[in-house]
Amino acid sequence: MPHPLGNRPSKVIAVHLNFPSRARERGRIPARPSYFLKPPSSLAGAGDPLVRPAGCELMTFEGEIALVIGRTARHVPPADAWEHVGWVTAANDAGVHDLRYADRGSNLRSKGSDGFTPVGPRLIGARTLDPRGLRVRTWVNGEPVQDDTSDALLFPFADLVADLSRLVTLEPGDVILTGTPAGASVASPGDTVEVEVTAGSQSTGRLHNTVVEADRALPDWGAMPRVDEAVRADAWGPAYRPKPALDATLEEALRGLSTATLSSQLRKRGLQHMSIDGVHPAGGDVTMVGTAHTLRYLPLREDLFTAHGGGMNAQKRAVEELRPGQVLVMDARRDTTAGTIGDILALRAARRGAAGVVTDGGLRDSATVAGLDVPVFHGGAHPAVLGRRHVPWDTGLPISCGGALVQPGDVLVGDADGVVVIPPDLVGDLVEDAVEQEAQERFITERVAAGEPIDGLYPLGPRWREAYETWRRDGR
C-alpha cells in the first residue's frame, strides 16, 4: 500500500532517545536531542513487507509518532514551531542491528534499507490536537509491547522542530520520527508489527507490516551481517535472555578448584603471569567464576575529567553493559589512593547478574560492599571518590589489572588466595588436569596426616602410584 504522504519528502529525520521509559532502558538520559537521517526511499505504507536481509537475525521494530512538516521551517523559535507541523501519523523505525557496526552513528545500512520506515495508514491534522496528548501503541502478533504518551517527552515536539530548523531547512512533507518508548525489540520472519497513534478519539489506524526473509543473498562486496552477545542484548532489550557467559559444566568444575591449583596448571603451560596480584576479597569466604568485561581508568587530568568523568561515563556504562556471569575487571594502574567502585555501583552490578568485580585500585564503602551478594576483589579500601586519581576512559578492550593482561571474555576465578586469569580456549583441558592434581593432593594429604614422609610422596612418585590408583578406583 502506498504511504499516505503523497510526494516523496526531501528527508526523514529520526531522534535517538526521547521517551523517558526508553532512556531508562538504555541507562542514559541525553542532555540534548541527537538525530540520524533515513533515506526517503526507506518509506513504506501499511501492509508492505519488512524485508529482513539474508544473513541477518536481529530485525527490530520501534513504534513512533511521526511529525509531517506542513510549512517550511527555518530559524523557528520553539514558541512558533508547532505551527509548522501539518500532520502526525504512526511510524515504525525498523532496522537490523546486524549491520549497525558498519555505519556506527549514521545507521545508514542498518536503518535505511528500502521499506524500513513504514508510516500511516492515515494522517491526523496537527491543528486538531494537543501535541502533549498523543498516545503511541505497538503490537507484535496481536500482543501489546509498547504503550506510552507524549506528555512527558525529554524533548517536546516543538523543541525538536525548532532545534532542527536552526541549521536545517525543514520542508513541507519532511518527516520527523520522534523516538520510541520502552519495549522496542526484535521481530522474526512471520511476525506482524502494528503501530497506532491516537489523539483523543482520533486515530491513525493501525500501521501493520509483516517481517519476511529476503529471497536473495546479500552480495559480499560490502559489509556483511555481524552479531555477538552484546549486539543481541542491545537489539532485544530487557526481553533478552543471554546464553550463559561460561558453560555451566565448566563453571561448576571451576568452582570446585582452588586458584592455587589453577595457577599451578597455568604455569605448567608456560603462562607465568596469570594472577591478578595485590587484590583480596571484600567479604570473607568467597568463590568467583565468570568471564571478563573490562574497564580502563587513566590518570587524573582535571581538564579532561568534566568531559570523561561526568554523566554516563565509562565507569557507569561498564556496569550497565554487564551480562549475567560476567566479571567487571578494572585497570586502575594499581593506584589504591582513590575508590574505583562503591556500594551503589556494586549493587547495580549484582542486580545485573554480575559474577563479580575485580579492581586493582581502591574500594569505597568496603563494609557495605562486603555484605552484597556479589564477590568483590580490590587492592585496598579508600574513602575518596575516583576523581581524586582516576578518569574513567573506556570499556571492552584488553587491560592490565594487577600486572595481568586481561582480555574481554577471559575466564576469571577468585577465592581467598586471589584471582587468576584463564584463556578461554584452555579452560577444558586445564580443568581436567586441575581435577586430577587436586585428587592427587588429597591422597598425599591423607598419607602425610597418617605419618608418611614426603620423600617420593610429594610430588607423587612411582612408589606410591599403584596405591593412588587403587585409592582413586575406590572413589576417593
Copy the grid coordinates of residue 147.
Answer: 504503550
Distance (Å) of CA 205 to CA 151, 208, 229:
21, 9, 36
Measured distance CA(53)–CA(50) in Å, rounded? 9
Helical residues (DSSP H) of 189-293, grouped into ranges? 229-236, 248-255, 259-268
345 is in an annotated binding site: yes
343 is in an annotated binding site: yes
Measured distance CA(412)–CA(221) in Å, rounded? 39
Residue 456 host element (H or E):
none
CB 420 within 8 A of CB 267: no
> What's 425's DSSP letter?
G
13 is in an annotated binding site: no
How do strand 192-199 and strand 175-177 relate by DSSP bridges?
Answer: unpaired
Residue 302 host element (H or E):
helix 302-309
Measured distance CA(314)–CA(309) in Å, rounded? 8
* Sheet with 35-38: strands ordered across: 35-38, 12-15, 175-177, 63-69, 85-92, 124-125
Encode 42-65: b = buried (16+ Cβ within 10 Å), e = exposed: bbbbbebebbbbebbebbbbbbbb
Place of cell 511521526: 66
Measured distance CA(192)–CA(54) in Å, rounded? 19
Reduced 3-state DSSP string for 160-185: HHHHHHCCCCECCCCEEECCCCCCCE
133 is in an annotated binding site: no
Mapped onto helix, strand or coil, the DSSP state of residue 376 is strand
Residue 363 pairs in a beta bridge with 341, 381
How do strand 326-331 and strand 288-299 relate by DSSP bridges?
Answer: parallel
365 is in an annotated binding site: yes
How do strand 362-363 and strand 275-276 relate by DSSP bridges?
Answer: unpaired
CA atoms within 13 A on the CB side of 424: 11
Q: Give me the phi and psi of 249, to 5 degrees please.
A: -65, -45
322 is in an annotated binding site: no
Q: How many CB atoms lie within 10 A of CB 6?
A: 11
Q: How many CB atoms lie within 10 A of CB 104?
A: 8
Q: Which residues are annotated as a binding site for substrate?
A: 342-345, 364
Q: Which residues are annotated as a binding site for Mg(2+)?
A: 365
Q: Which residues are annotated as a binding site?
A: 342-345, 364-365
